[in-house]
Amino acid sequence: MSPDTIGVGLVGYAFMGRAHSQAWLASRQFFSPGIRAELTAIAGRDAEAARDVADRFEWRSVRTDWRDLLDDPAIGLIDICTPGDTHAEIAIAALAAGKHVLVEKPMANTLAEAEAMAEAAAAARRTGTRSMVGFTYRRLPAIALAREIVARGGLGRVYSVRGQYLQDWLADPKAPWTWRLDRTAAGSGALGDIGAHVIDLAQYVVGDRITTVSGTLTTAHSQRVDAGGTSRAVTVDDSCDFVARFASGASGSFTATRLATGRKNALRLEVSGENGALAFDLEDMNYLEFYDTSGGPDAGFRRIMVTDPQHPYVGAWWPPGHSLGYAQPFTHQAVDLLNAIADGTDPAPSFEDGLQVQRVLASIETSDRTRSWTTVIEAAEEATP
Amino acid sequence: MSPDTIGVGLVGYAFMGRAHSQAWLASRQFFSPGIRAELTAIAGRDAEAARDVADRFEWRSVRTDWRDLLDDPAIGLIDICTPGDTHAEIAIAALAAGKHVLVEKPMANTLAEAEAMAEAAAAARRTGTRSMVGFTYRRLPAIALAREIVARGGLGRVYSVRGQYLQDWLADPKAPWTWRLDRTAAGSGALGDIGAHVIDLAQYVVGDRITTVSGTLTTAHSQRVDAGGTSRAVTVDDSCDFVARFASGASGSFTATRLATGRKNALRLEVSGENGALAFDLEDMNYLEFYDTSGGPDAGFRRIMVTDPQHPYVGAWWPPGHSLGYAQPFTHQAVDLLNAIADGTDPAPSFEDGLQVQRVLASIETSDRTRSWTTVIEAAEEATP
Amino acid sequence: MSPDTIGVGLVGYAFMGRAHSQAWLASRQFFSPGIRAELTAIAGRDAEAARDVADRFEWRSVRTDWRDLLDDPAIGLIDICTPGDTHAEIAIAALAAGKHVLVEKPMANTLAEAEAMAEAAAAARRTGTRSMVGFTYRRLPAIALAREIVARGGLGRVYSVRGQYLQDWLADPKAPWTWRLDRTAAGSGALGDIGAHVIDLAQYVVGDRITTVSGTLTTAHSQRVDAGGTSRAVTVDDSCDFVARFASGASGSFTATRLATGRKNALRLEVSGENGALAFDLEDMNYLEFYDTSGGPDAGFRRIMVTDPQHPYVGAWWPPGHSLGYAQPFTHQAVDLLNAIADGTDPAPSFEDGLQVQRVLASIETSDRTRSWTTVIEAAEEATP
Amino acid sequence: MSPDTIGVGLVGYAFMGRAHSQAWLASRQFFSPGIRAELTAIAGRDAEAARDVADRFEWRSVRTDWRDLLDDPAIGLIDICTPGDTHAEIAIAALAAGKHVLVEKPMANTLAEAEAMAEAAAAARRTGTRSMVGFTYRRLPAIALAREIVARGGLGRVYSVRGQYLQDWLADPKAPWTWRLDRTAAGSGALGDIGAHVIDLAQYVVGDRITTVSGTLTTAHSQRVDAGGTSRAVTVDDSCDFVARFASGASGSFTATRLATGRKNALRLEVSGENGALAFDLEDMNYLEFYDTSGGPDAGFRRIMVTDPQHPYVGAWWPPGHSLGYAQPFTHQAVDLLNAIADGTDPAPSFEDGLQVQRVLASIETSDRTRSWTTVIEAAEEATP
């Protein structure tokens, strides 16, 4: 007996749209989730571009207005891959229409939007409508393993977390202006784009929440020339450094930057605990380094190649030692969401988790402005990273 | 105007069958080859298993006899993913039927089979029927870049090559007996399975051929217990070490082993030349290390993250710094073959290239038996790696 | 003609005393400084222990009161290797007595002491008496090379610095209480002990000064049991995290901690600039990683083994590729000081440099207390790192 | 009570002479061997050069004829640091004169010399005269730890050894001719100079002997220009590759080369066993990588920083995490030899061990000439690596 199916409606067809398209397909090629995704429709304002993606990934139909997806009874799940300023409207409407929702990060561009989304998610949850934020890196096998190790007490008490998300695409002063450098469209710069990832991962792996922060934002080049040759103002941060304190008292030190020359996609996390430590770097995503103090003087960071069938998610793919890539966690995310829908459980990260990250981001901006430590607001207590 | 299409008939549905299935799909999802692959039919003796793969990857039909594929006018390309002892029969028949052929490595289990296949390929070539051996790792972006660097003289005269393919799945004496440990079914052990890869890569990157070898084969455990609890003889090598000389006079030192505890899939290549050196490790497949003597005392191996849009194959995938995985080279292979078919050119590696590797393998076995250096037979001259 | 000689009087005989003893000997074994060091006398309160060190390194005489060294006309240079709370008294007296002074870091335990020392050094300088702070790591060949690369514009405009000094000897809650955990004796904890090093190195390599900071101190275990079994209060920080801004506007993110499980002595620096980047780790002290954007898509961090005769200090030691160790920079420091004395020039780092680091440390403590950004006081302007 | 002393007579004052000079001093500075070395006399044909070394390291007297050292009753130990062609004569004479002997590697230039030396050592042993070959790298803490791990069964049955000694000083065709490239003076090229090291280390760490070999020697540039501008013949190998079999049946694959562009001093060893594996690289000499299969799927090569006081030799030096360098193993060697003399035991590696390595070297040359596997001669059985 084959599983039930659910129709997916995808909004967005760019880089993220393609990543999600292949994930919905791979979710049934390599896994056997409790409910099977059908690629029912894709929506995008540029019909030509949307049609191209639809052809490539065999989406059954193409729409130019995402609202059409909400009216389609064949669609049970809305997957939002548009820029951040549209997330709140689409997600809230989709939940109201009784569609399960997966929304890419950053969940929203403003705290107010994020709060409205979390409220909508809470309301929808009561009728069994599921929602999830796309902090995809939680589904890297190495990160899932890191979470397991911390959760089973492998580090003992956690002392500190050092997190970095280093990219370099703005190190060149001649790198062109894009909408990502405009505060209205993008919300913030490195902070929300990649800082959000490292904050979510740190909280997720440690199983704790950041409660206070002190940070500073940097814009190295306040003007850049756009593709048309016009000089435009850069109104977001290129770079963000902050120190933090977790609820448990653990300390944190973080950097998110687009100015780290030579680092292409270095999302790094090091967690130090009483009995051990973990280190991860997205540029070597198939590995997790684990130090276990029980090794005594012969202890050392051991480089675990997280490609064993017993490792999270890995068994569905290739034999041991065969590298996974950037695409895989999107598939794992799709599978986990499909299984949550099938099982009638709430997937994580929830919109409340997304809201809590948004609060940390907002607190860092406040801290930068006031030049003092800022408390991540109390309502965050409800979130469970 | 969309491109023409070609129907693919896949023989085999196991690990390799799945890898090829996703590749045919991805070839049109992420690339735009000159001719578009249709997943027309899959053939496998176990109808149930073949049906499962067909469902997952949307193969249009399922056959239990590969011969049926040759009769199908909708199929223009036969993709052979079965064990090595069936390759010759299927490939020769397919070429005779005017189908283009992609055959997984090892191309054949015996030199005689390989020679027959090369003959068939040469004959078919005259009528525009294409053939290709699946030395997939040539299509790793890092390896393609390595080849480019050598070809443009980046290393100057090549002095030496050190190659290793290290796995560890037989290090445990309790690892079960499988058909891969049986000479009749598998041809050889580590030698043909993974030694073939490192030989092909070394010759490909350097642009030269191995002409003499001296090697030794090791079987650490001559009996293993199969899944049914029966003790069975291991009739292939667990491990192979050999030294070699290239046509240019460059020296080579190679190991292929399933006994390298802790190494899961470490296909390593280091090429030393007058002006530079290259180092690669499949366990870190997104990187190529390049040493350029023009740096003087400040030279050093630089770790190139081969994920830039300007790097071979990369532009079709993700932004810089986003890791590719094991699956991608299969897609690149499919795209290159489709383009060759569309362009009416001969793809590489050819069956003659595959034959030349087979001759090196056979020479190593002879050397092990005679305990002396063995010349790779002269007919190899025609091969152009 | 052999060079003139200068008598050295060493105060202290513990770990640092031994490191300096071997350095004075090696300064003449492997180098040929303009003036040759004689190991004239060692002073220590524990005569037995001092005698043992004297025997091992052939110090000519042993004193139990450091004041005796100041009265000895055969001594021209006082080398201070005692705990920090004694530095100011000894250094000021030595300078007043016309002796050149080398003082270990931390230069002093309090800002007031450091200011008095800097004044004394300025006064002594007028009469040709030299003074130097033992920020030894500046004399690592890799760090000296890093400084050169930045100074010659190899990075262009510097955007940011990330510095860490990670140790783990307090990660174990059972690690015993020592005087280093007592604020009166040690001044501060990780902050002054190892934070001072990373601050000095960051400023030195970049050629810039930190002007504002926001930081937080952590004491994970506020009580520890001393060797005698008594529970004692820990009155210093185990760990310090801070963000910083340099005079140029570059941003900084720093951690100094004794809680970084698995990291033994990881003093790490990464400097990102417009045209390149540098990365260093003291746990791999013979290497400097350098990224040069002129490599285009084939750029990568190149791992320079800083053991070439053309690299700073290296020519005096072994052939290329032969690792230097922890002891060598002490020798380089001794040689540089001897040459400055011989040449009549002022060695660096000066006491003013030491004072500036002390001001950064004090500002971090203030920031931790006030929970806001703190300006490193203006008098720091005179310092030239 | 201070220990007895023994006068050392050093023959040679070049690179190795300096390395040994500092070692004799450091043996008493940082260790407390059972007998204390006095730097009694140094002998060298160039009196000026010898005098310079004597001044630097405080050798008490200088001789121009090594024979004078044998007549000096104050000298109990002869330390031979001259080129290989003089070793046999000096060592045999010294042993005959009742002096303990330390001889640098390669022990001799010919097998006949090595055999005569082993005989002399055996004879001298009967009267308590000790002899030792300077395979210094055995005294690297990481290698000593590796030996311990294998000896206590940490790897279980050893399957294979991969050893490389990679240097690049002949990669440049313009690198000048020196006596090291002349067979008469140097015996052989990479083979004896650095191949000897990797052979000794492999046998030492594994606790086994190589019994058969098949190898090939390469001379990439048969003419080089000497310092005077004259073109001279290169009569030794630049590079050597060989495969080997150990007495236990374990396989070996080795390369020793001066043509490995970018590798400065990369002496690498990887040992694979049933229960674990070890990897070492002299370019990262403070580390040993250890893989322990008991870690199951979470196993990984753990990078042990071999700088803990509990690690071999380390306690005498610095706190954990402080790197040792190239100089330290010479000191450990001196200390071990002094302790053997004090204890009346035979130090290792013995001249018989040196002879066995020499036999392997000779067998590789034979194999290269005959183009077939060569058995390391039977007398080797007596050697106990």
D261 inside 8 A of chain C by CB: no
3-state secondary structure A18-61: HHHHHHHHHHHHCCCCCEEEEEEEEECCCHHHHHHHHHHHCCCE
Contacts of C30 in chain D (CB under 8 A): 18, 56
Rounded Cα–Cα distance for residues A250 and A273 (Å): 9
Q: Please report the pLDDT score of residue B2 as a whole number.
A: 54
Minimal Cα distance from C58: which residue of D? D29
pLDDT digits (tens, 9 = 90+) for B146-180: 999 999 999 999 999 999 999 999 999 999 999 99
The proportion of chain B whose per-residue pLDDT surpasses 90, expressed as a percent, equals 95
φ, ψ of residue D213 to 5 degrees: the values are -145, 155
Burial letters for D19-33: b for 16+ Cβ neighbours within 10 Å, e otherwise? bbbbbbbbbbbbbeb
In terms of residues, how long is chain A? 385
Q: What is the mean pLDDT of residues D359-373?
A: 96
Q: Please report the pLDDT score of residue A378 as a whole number.
A: 52
Q: Please report the pLDDT score of residue A1 as a whole number.
A: 44
Q: What is the mean pLDDT of residues D356-378?
A: 93
pLDDT digits (tens, 9 = 90+) for A43-70: 999 999 999 999 999 999 999 999 999 9
The proportion of chain A whose per-residue pLDDT surpasses 90, expressed as a percent, equals 95
pLDDT digits (tens, 9 = 90+) for D60-89: 999 999 999 999 999 999 999 998 899 999
A78 vs A380, residue with greater confidence: A78
Rounded Cα–Cα distance for residues B297 and B300 (Å): 8
In a mutational test of the A interface, the residue from B261, B265, B310 whose CB has the highest number of chain A CBs within 10 Å is B265
Give the C-alpha distances (Å, rounded to integers) separating A325 from A283, A335, C280, C316, D150: 10, 17, 28, 47, 36
Minimal Cα distance from D148: which residue of A? A298
pTM of the full predicted structure?
0.96
Whether pLDDT at D275 is above 80:
yes
3-state secondary structure of D88: helix
**If you average pLDDT over every residue of chain B, what do you get?**
95
**If you average pLDDT over every residue of chain A, what do you get?**
95
Whether pLDDT at D385 is above 50:
no
| Beta strands, E only, chain B | 4-11, 35-43, 61-63, 77-80, 100-104, 131-134, 158-166, 210-218, 223-225, 231-233, 239-246, 251-257, 266-273, 276-281, 287-292, 301-305, 374-375
Q: What is the mean pLDDT of residues A14-35?
A: 97
| Beta strands, E only, C33-157 | 35-43, 61-63, 77-80, 100-104, 131-134
pLDDT digits (tens, 9 = 90+) for A242-257: 999 999 999 999 999 9
Q: What is the mean pLDDT of residues A206-219?
A: 97
Nearest to D6 by CA among D86, D79, D58, D104: D79
Give the C-alpha distances (Å, rounded to integers) separating C19 from C61, C365, D317: 18, 30, 9
| Structure-token pair, residue D341 | 């003399």
Please count the residue pairs, one from chain B and one from chain C, whose beta carbons lie less than 8 angstroms apart: 46
Q: Please report the pLDDT score of residue A379 as a whole number.
A: 41
Contacts of A325 in chain B (CB under 8 A): 322-328
Contacts of C298 in chain B (CB under 8 A): 145, 290, 304
Q: pLDDT-based confidence at D383, cuts 50/70/90?
A: very low
pLDDT digits (tens, 9 = 90+) for D20-67: 999 999 999 999 999 999 999 999 999 999 999 999 999 999 999 999
Contacts of D145 in chain A (CB under 8 A): 298
**Residue B94 C-beta-side C-alpha neighbours within 13 Å:** 30
Q: Please report the pLDDT score of residue D349 as a whole number.
A: 98
**Are A325 and B320 in contact (CB < 8 Å)?**
no
Q: CA B18, B21, B26 angle in degrees (round to 5)?
A: 125
Residues with Cβ within 8 Å of B231's Cβ and at least 6 positions away in sequence, in order, are: B177, B223, B224, B225
B175 inside 8 A of chain A by CB: no
Residues 178-237 on C with a CB inside 8 Å of A are 214-216, 218, 220
Rounded Cα–Cα distance for residues D113 and D107 (Å): 9
- Determine the distance in angstroms separating the CA of D114 from the nearest CA of chain C, rounded to an integer: 27
| Structure-token pair, residue A179 | 């909408």
Minimal Cα distance from D28: which residue of C? C56
Contacts of D264 in chain B (CB under 8 A): none
**Are D277 and B260 in contact (CB < 8 Å)?**
yes
Of A116-130, C89-103, C371-385, D72-86, the least confident: C371-385
| Structure-token pair, residue A172 | 């060149």
| Structure-token pair, residue C144 | 């000296």
| Structure-token pair, residue C43 | 């002073």
**Are D302 and A301 in contact (CB < 8 Å)?**
yes
A167 inside 8 A of chain B by CB: yes
D259 inside 8 A of chain B by CB: yes
Strands D77-80 and D4-11: parallel
First CA to last CA distance, chain A = 36
Q: CA A133, A135, A136 angle in degrees (round to 5)?
A: 115
Nearest to B111 by CA among B213, B194, B196: B196
SS3 content of chain B, % helix, strand, coil (to 5): 40, 25, 35
**Are C321 and D264 in contact (CB < 8 Å)?**
yes
pLDDT digits (tens, 9 = 90+) for A324-350: 999 999 999 999 999 999 999 999 999
3-state secondary structure of B116: helix
In a mutational test of the A interface, the residue from B166, B261, B286, B288 whose CB has the highest number of chain A CBs within 10 Å is B286
Task: Look at the block and give the residue holding tokens 């084969």.
Answer: B217
Q: Please report the pLDDT score of residue C185 as a whole number.
A: 87
Q: CA B47, B51, B56 angle in degrees (round to 5)?
A: 155
| Beta strands, E only, C12-84 | 35-43, 61-63, 77-80
φ, ψ of residue C285 to 5 degrees: the values are -70, -15
Whether pLDDT at A377 is above 90:
no
B315 inside 8 A of chain C by CB: no
3-state secondary structure of D312: coil
**Are B321 and A167 in contact (CB < 8 Å)?**
yes
pLDDT digits (tens, 9 = 90+) for A320-331: 999 999 999 999
Q: Please report the pLDDT score of residue B378 as a whole number.
A: 52
φ, ψ of residue A279 to 5 degrees: the values are -140, 140
**Are D167 and C321 in contact (CB < 8 Å)?**
yes
Q: pLDDT-based confidence at D378, cuts 50/70/90?
A: low
- Determine the distance in angstroms separating the CA of B320 from the nearest CA of chain A, rounded to an integer: 6
Cβ atoms of C198 and C219 closer than 8 Å: no
pLDDT digits (tens, 9 = 90+) for D171-219: 999 999 999 999 988 999 999 999 999 999 999 999 999 999 999 999 9
Whether pLDDT at A152 is above 60:
yes
Q: What is the mean pLDDT of residues C44-59?
A: 96
Provide the residue type at B113 as one letter.
Answer: E
A46-54, Cβ contacts within 8 angstroms, sequence gap of 24 or more: A46/A13, A49/A13, A50/A13, A52/A13, A53/A13, A53/A17, A53/A18, A53/A21, A54/A13
pLDDT digits (tens, 9 = 90+) for B352-379: 999 999 999 999 999 999 999 999 965 4
**Are C266 and D15 in contact (CB < 8 Å)?**
no
The proportion of chain D whose per-residue pLDDT surpasses 70, expressed as a percent, equals 97
Cβ atoms of D146 and D205 closer than 8 Å: yes
Rounded Cα–Cα distance for residues A323 and B283 (Å): 7
Q: Please report the pLDDT score of residue A382 as a whole number.
A: 40
pLDDT digits (tens, 9 = 90+) for B119-136: 999 999 999 999 999 999
- Number of other residues whose CB lies within 10 A of the CB of residue B46: 11
Q: Please report the pLDDT score of residue B106 as a whole number.
A: 86
| Structure-token pair, residue A57 | 């990934």
Cβ atoms of A115 and A139 closer than 8 Å: no
Q: pLDDT-based confidence at B1, cuts 50/70/90?
A: very low
Rounded Cα–Cα distance for residues D61 and D42 (Å): 6
- Nearest by CB: D57 against C29, C266, C321: C29
Q: Tell me the longest C-alpha to C-alpha distance in chain A.
A: 64
Please count the residue pairs, one from chain A and one from chain C, whose beta carbons lie less than 8 angstroms apart: 146
**Are B145 and C302 in contact (CB < 8 Å)?**
no
Q: Please report the pLDDT score of residue C3 as a whole number.
A: 67
DSSP code, position B308: S
B317 inside 8 A of chain D by CB: no
Cβ atoms of A320 and B264 closer than 8 Å: yes
Complex-level ipTM: 0.95
- Nearest by CB: D304 against A300, A308, A311: A300
Rounded Cα–Cα distance for residues C56 and D31 (Å): 9
Task: Look at the block and give the residue holding tokens 């100041």.
Answer: C70
Contacts of C260 in chain A (CB under 8 A): 159-160, 270, 272, 277
